[in-house]
A and B are shown apart, each in its own frame.
Chain A
Amino acid sequence: MHELSIAHNLIQIASAAAHEEGISRVTAVHLKLGALSGVVKDALLFGYDIAAEGTVLEGSKLVIEEIPVIVNCPNCGQVELPNIQRFRCPNCDAITPEMIHGKELEISALEYEEDDPGGVESPPLIKAEEVKE
């Protein structure tokens, strides 16, 4: 199982991105996971919570978008494979070695909460005209 080490990489990248943007509270990380990435979704979800502990991502949710295998069929163009055991076009049975999607293992977005100033009302703005008067 290498999902824990994948989860650590994921947390590192997300934390660095959050830090760069000055984000202090990440609520969710969105990940694209291809059917042929070699990574097991449930194991990754499990590893994520462990890897997130003690980081800016602790308590955040990992939202996984599963990407099916899309191949380029020489006859039919882009088609989705119903499973990853057979690289043949589901319509015409042509061999389809050329893969367009399905190996993804990439972070697509971070969800975060904007810091709430804590309910303190901002001082009213004084208009320039008022100052003159």
Chain B
Amino acid sequence: MTQLLKIQQGVLSKNDLLAQGLRGRFREAGVFVTNWVSSPGSGKTALLETTMRQLTDRGHKVAALVGDLATENDAQRLKRSGAEVRQIVTAGTCHLEADMIERHLEGWEVDQFDFLFIENVGNLVCPSSYDLGEDLRIVLLSVTEGEDKPLKYPPMFHSADLAVITKIDLAEAVEFDRSAAYENIKAVGPQLRILETSAKRGTGLDDWIDYLLQAKAGTV
């Protein structure tokens, strides 16, 4: 005879629980944590490199965890800013999970950091389901990708707190339709704040750094 056993449990409850633990730990340590998500090649590492350098110059202690399927190239590149950087090689896994973050924090005293940046694996699908204990989820969209990306990947854009349009120096060359991009971002994530940057030319970086500082202070 067929019987029914009712249970109610989130499939990712283990990850969610770990992420909650991390969030508490980060709060206590006074470190502001951001989780960067985007498609591959949107310019996460370039923006991160200049962000870490600028924050370091202003006297903030910063660290980064960088996720990639393979290679340690991004971590090597980011270490040039003089900050603490660790690579998370996921060996094929298409996203970061809370336990990977926890493991890679070992040996670090997180309370010595003001900012911890987590660069997720370049992928606009899978990372959206995994809470990493971050304060802020930042989705990057480069002008070369097409203005309809938000409509193609609603779960990711909806789960983010901030959208950064990158490579804005190329906007004209690729005939980037700014109003369409804004409309699409706002359609999927009405709560999203939008900033524009060019890591190469320095455009919009002051606003971006100010935003991070204000977000850390809890004033945005």
A residues bordering B, Cβ < 8 Å?
Answer: 1-2, 5-6, 9-10, 13, 17-18, 21, 23, 27, 31, 36-39, 84-88, 95-97, 99, 105-114
B154 touches A84 (CB 8 A): yes
Most buried by B among A23, A87, A111, A113: A87
Assuming A5-B93, A36-B158, is B5 touching A107 (CB within 8 A)?
no
Assuming A9-B11, A84-B154, A97-B191, is B6 touching A23 (CB within 8 A)?
no
7 nearest A-B residue pairs (beta carbon): A2-B126, A38-B155, A38-B128, A84-B154, A38-B129, A110-B5, A97-B190
Interface residues of B in 123-162 (CB under 8 A from A): 125-126, 128-129, 151, 154-156, 158-159
A86 touches B187 (CB 8 A): yes
Binding site secondary structure of chain B: mixed
Q: Is B179 an interface residue (CB 8 A)?
A: no
B4 touches A110 (CB 8 A): yes
B126 touches A106 (CB 8 A): no
Q: Which residues of A contact B12 (CB under 8 A)?
A: 6, 9, 105
B156 touches A112 (CB 8 A): no
B190 touches A87 (CB 8 A): yes
Assuming A85-B188, A87-B187, is B9 touching A113 (CB within 8 A)?
no
A105 to B12, CA, bound (A): 8
Q: Is B10 an interface residue (CB 8 A)?
A: yes
**Shortest beta-carbon distance, A55 to chain B, in Å?**
15
B residues bordering A, Cβ < 8 Å?
Answer: 1-14, 93-95, 125-126, 128-129, 151, 154-156, 158-159, 187-191
B125 touches A2 (CB 8 A): yes
Assuming A39-B129, A87-B187, A97-B190, is B2 touching A107 (CB within 8 A)?
no
A5 to B11, CA, bound (A): 10
Assuming A5-B93, A106-B11, is B3 touching A38 (CB within 8 A)?
no
Q: Which residues of B contact A2 (CB under 8 A)?
A: 93-95, 125-126, 129
Assuming A27-B2, A106-B10, is B189 touching A38 (CB within 8 A)?
no
A113 to B5, CA, bound (A): 11
**Shortest beta-carbon distance, A62 to chain B, in Å?**
11
Q: Which residues of B contact A86 (CB under 8 A)?
A: 187-188
A99's nearest neighbour on chain B, judged by CB, is B158
A6 touches B11 (CB 8 A): yes
A36 to B8, CA, bound (A): 19
A38 touches B2 (CB 8 A): no
A5 to B9, CA, bound (A): 16
Q: Which residues of B contact A18 (CB under 8 A)?
A: 5
A2's nearest neighbour on chain B, judged by CB, is B126
**Shortest beta-carbon distance, B201 to chain A, in Å?**
32
A23 touches B5 (CB 8 A): yes
B188 touches A113 (CB 8 A): no
A88 to B218, CA, bound (A): 28
A109 to B6, CA, bound (A): 4
A88 to B3, CA, bound (A): 41
